[in-house]
Amino acid sequence: MGWLTKLLGRRDRNAALPLYDAVVARARLPHWYLDGAVPDTLDGRFDMVAAVLAMVLLRLEDDPQGAAPVAQLTERFVDDMDAQVRQIGFGDMVVGKHVGRMMGMLGGRLGAYREGLAGGDLDGALVRNLYRGAAPDDAALSHVRDGLVALRRALDTMSVPQLMEGRIP
């Protein structure tokens, strides 16, 4: 074991895999795309994963035990986005740039959703980030907003170890 590994501690790169898989599974549920009118496109699926992931990251941020899981979950996201960009056919020269842009998009959404939840008005953040400025009808927006807010509240009932096992409500 190298000195840097000893200094920083050994991290299991797969520790957050069950949670990340649960996030992606939750984001892929058909009701988001059918009842919530999230575009069932590559961008729409990314935006929905980012929305669900943001709810989980916000939950972990609120917990003293959440720092390591936030880092591990973010690493899983980067690994997944890297693989997705490569699968689409981008070459090594531009993969990092695209993944960096996706990380920036996730960070922006995280801030927007944090503010929206704190202010009690998530709609504007959803229209900007999930629907990319093209507001759906009120019923669709309500469906997604209510679903994400309910998810965020339900996450508060879960311990960090439960979340890391992939048990999201």
**What is the tens place of the pLDDT at every residue in 2-54?**
443 443 444 566 889 999 999 999 999 999 999 999 999 888 998 999 999 99
163 exposure class (CB count in 10 Å sphere: 0-12, 13-18, 19+): buried
Its sign, for the CA torsion 25, 161, 107, 78, is negative
- Judge whether residue 89 has pLDDT over 70: no
In the predicted model, what is the mean pLDDT of the chain? 85
Interacting residues of 15 by C-beta distance below 8 A, sequence separation 6+: 69, 72, 164
Prediction pTM value:
0.84
Lookup: tokens for 72: 């591990």
Residue 34 lies in a domain: no
First to last CA, the chain: 38
User: Between these two residues, 31 and 169, which has the higher pLDDT value?
Assistant: 31
Residue 103 lies in a domain: yes
Residue 19 lies in a domain: no
Residue 22 lies in a domain: no
Q: How many domains does the chain have?
A: 1
Total residues found in the chain within this entry: 169
Rg (CA), the chain: 16
Residue 8 lies in a domain: no
Residue 112 lies in a domain: yes
Question: How far from chain centre, in Å, is Cα 111?
Answer: 12
**In which residue are the tokens 């590994």 written?**
5
Q: How many CB atoms lie within 10 A of CB 21?
A: 13
Residue 59 lies in a domain: yes
Range of the domain at 145: 39-161
Residue 10 lies in a domain: no
The secondary structure element, H or E, covering residue 127 is helix 123-129
Distance CA(2)–CA(16), nearest Å, equals 23
